[in-house]
Amino acid sequence: MRAEVAVATVQGKAYFLIVNKLKEHDIPFLSLLPNEVVPTDIKVVITTEQEKQLINHEKVLVYNCDTGSDVVANDIRKILQGKEAYEKIIIGIDPGEVFGLVVIADGKVNETANCFSAHEALAKVRGVIREVDFAATTVTIKVGNGVPTYKELIEEFDRDLPVEVALKVVSEAGTSRPLNHNKHRRGLRDIASAMRIAGRAGHVYPRRRPDESN
């Protein structure tokens, strides 16, 4: 696949974090020096605040250590898909010993992950929605009810996520299809279950009011 993304920085830590995130998302990229000529087929250049003035390109994304590489990866996907913002984001989660998680934006799978605690799942969700403009984008999180701990997870989401995020509880009946007993494929099974959860209707979980006490 031809690269449409360029990484232009000489800052080692920033380059390492950006490149790792691009590889994690299977996004091809080209490495450039900040003052190099950008090829015409590159749609977006990622750089740092200190080096952005050296980049001659119409679309430059600045890596910010405070927001992190997850935000950069999300912005890149929107640019490559020709979107200013997504209309609809659905996050499906299969709770359990390993939390399968899938992010579907406007009908396309943007990200999959395996999380190993409710805290890690919450952190992943926060990263996905951090830059979302809720006036333009609806966000729905669908949580499978296959294990009792799903209640704790959805309560934590209710407590810690913006009230604009819709929460739904989804029946997991028929979502878990064993691939085999190989531990290396277990993560794939959890993600596959999260995919099926994301595609189901579910029941709305009433969000608490901002002034409601814990």
pLDDT tens digits in sequence order for the chain, 214 residues long = 688 899 999 999 889 988 988 888 788 899 999 999 999 999 999 999 999 999 999 989 888 776 566 667 777 888 888 777 889 999 999 998 899 999 999 998 888 889 999 999 999 999 888 888 899 999 999 999 988 889 999 999 999 999 999 999 998 876 555 555 545 455 688 899 999 999 999 999 998 765 555 5
User: Domain 5-80 has what CATH class?
Assistant: alpha beta
Spatial separation of the C-alpha atoms in residues 125 and 95, rounded to whole Å? 14
Spatial separation of the C-alpha atoms in residues 209 and 47, rounded to whole Å? 40
Domain range annotation of the chain: 5-80, 88-205
**pTM given for the model:** 0.72
Show the 3-state SS of 32-100. ECCCCCCCCCCCEEEEECCCHHHCCCCCEEEECCCCCHHHHHHHHHHHHCCCCCCCEEEEEEECCCCEE
- To the question of domain 88-205 being in CATH 3.40.50.150, the answer is no
Which parts of 145-207 are beta strand (E)?
Answer: 166-170, 203-205
Residue with tokens 């405070």: 66
